[in-house]
Structure 1
Amino acid sequence: MKEESKREQVIDLVRGQSVIRPRDLKEHGLPKDYLYILAQEGVIERIGRGLYQWPNKDLGRHHSLVEISKLAPKAVVALLSALNYHNMTTQNPHQIWLAIDRKAWRPEISYPPVRFVTMSAESLHLGVETHSIEGVSIKVFNPAKTVVDCFKYRGKVGLDVALEALREGWSARKFTMDELQNCAKICRVQKVMQPYLESLV
């Protein structure tokens, strides 16, 4: 294959995806060096360590979640970021909150800014939904699990955030009482949440 046609293939690939990594080129049998060369020439943008995109691409509201899912594919979008995704908060987090297994290696991510919380394997797999954003699969905790996690990690996010999420989610019918109680039981925050749950009904 001629060098020029490989270059054009890489350009077409970058143009067609929201974010691309060197390993994505490898899957197509293309040399990953092209990403570095094209970024040096200003044809594409390097937006983070090992992440490239087409310049001036119209980025959606949740584009940073796409970037993160490429860098930390085993992590789950959690807490404030999950609340924001589900439209259950007035907070606009300046970091992306991710949950990882407490025994897992923590990826080093310089951009976008990330805050990790660790969970047991059981808690990490409870209430996970997969959504497609810009053609990329993103793992996000469902609304009930997100609210329960806000109570569990209230020392990190604040009790006011947990209460707002509970009220917003309940009024928007994002979850049922049974879903909340089931998650609270598994995550061991039933006693903490019980008075607040009783005030809803």
Structure 2
Amino acid sequence: MEPYRKGTLAPPRLAPEDYKTEHDLVELFALAHEQGIVTTKEAGARWIPRLHLSTLVEAGYLERVGRGVYRFALWPWSTAERLDAAVALRPGGVFGLLTAAYLHGLLAHEPPAVWLCLEAGRRVPWVEGFALEVVHARGGVPEGDVEVVEAPEAPQARTALEAKKAHEAWKAHAAHEGPTAPIGRSGPARPPRTTRRGPRAARAYRVTSRARTVVDLFRFRRRVPEEVAVEAIRAYLEQGHDRAALERTASQHRARTLLSPHLRRYTT
């Protein structure tokens, strides 16, 4: 397989021995481009051998993020891709603390790491490409403290520019290299569906509720800077969220004394 050349976004130039190999590799390339994150489970569901994932990694089109999880390597990391990778590595996890606060709009800046709440006893996954902070909760996070939110999307201009660059790169690649059709197939090379990438559909993620998030930021004060927790509780109250729910959640987790000074300070 031809390795990735910097400045090109075209699918790899293949020289397969049979049609299925090329078809599987192009389909895997398209899947990774469209989703950003692809897993061995998803490849297996399409009857694509796992070996093809390693082939695309060696060619520079994919990079391994963790066990059984791969990422399309030609785009920069996005918030949604980091969240997707964390979910793929530990299904059933709940995003909490700084990540939940950012998704709820309680923090102005995206945290440098993804914060994930796991049930006590579950192993911390090996991750490469982004920082992952894990907090263990005995019995997991109760469903009453879990909400579903959507990740912020990439700007329309960025995704449109990506699609334009990919399409132009593919046309230049096809004009220079010629048709890439396997034996038994004729006609000019067609750009794959990945070159028509538009704004990705919003995806929903399980995160701790706003009240639980603010309380946890104070509870884990050894791992979370105090100014971050203060910013979150101020935003929570200024945005008009349920103060009673915050006080009730703080009492349930024995954190009322930690929040009381700030509740009095930001009384409306």
- TM class by shorter-chain length? 0.7 to 0.9
Query: Is 2:181 the counterpart of 1:163?
Result: no
Aligned to 1:154: 221
Of 96, 109, 114 in structure 1, the residue corresponding to residue 127 of structure 2 is 109
TM-score (norm 1): 0.84
In structure 1, the residue corresponding to 2:213 is in which secondary structure? helix
Partners of 1:68 and 1:112 within 8 A in 2: no
Q: State the distance in 2 between where 1:11 and 1:123 align.
A: 36
Partner residue in 2 for 1:78: 96
The equivalent of 1:182 in structure 2 is: 248
- Equivalents in 2 of 1:186, 1:22: separation in Å? 41
Q: Specify which of 5, 24, 38 is matched with residue 6 of structure 1.
A: 24
1: CA distance, partners of 2:210 / 2:49: 41
Give the letter for the 1:68 counterpart. A
Please list, as runs of the form range in 1=range in 2, the aligned pairs for 1:19-168 lying within 5 A after superposition.
19-42=37-60, 44-49=61-66, 50-57=68-75, 60-90=78-108, 92-121=110-139, 123=141, 125-133=143-151, 136-168=203-235
Structure 1 window deviating more from structure 2 (33-42 vs 47-56): it is 47-56
RMSD: 2.5
Structure 2 CA distance, aligned partners of 1:60 and 1:107? 20
Inter-partner Cα distance in structure 2 for 1:61 and 1:110: 15
Contact kept in structure 2, 1:151 and 1:159, CA below 8 Å: yes
Q: Is the 8 A contact 1:14 1:20 kept in 2?
A: yes
Deviation at 1:168, TM superposition (A): 1.3
Q: Which runs of 5+ in 1 are unaligned?
A: none
One-letter amino acid matched to 2:221: R
Post-superposition CA distance 1:95-151 (Å, at most 9, x none): 222211123233232432112122122645442123344555422222221101111
Question: Given the superposition, is the C-alpha separation of residues 109 and 39 from structure 1 closer, same or farther in structure 2, using an over 3 Å criterion?
Answer: closer
Segments of structure 2 that go 5 or more residues without pairing to the other structure are 1-18, 152-199
Superposition TM-score, scaled by structure 2 size = 0.65
CA contact (8 A) 2:64 2:128 kept: no
State the number of aligned residues. 199
Aligned AA (2:63): R
Query: Please, which moves more after superposition, 55-64 or 163-172?
Result: 55-64
- For residue 38 of structure 2, give the secondary structure of its aligned residue in structure 1: coil
Aligned residue number for residue 194 of structure 1: 260
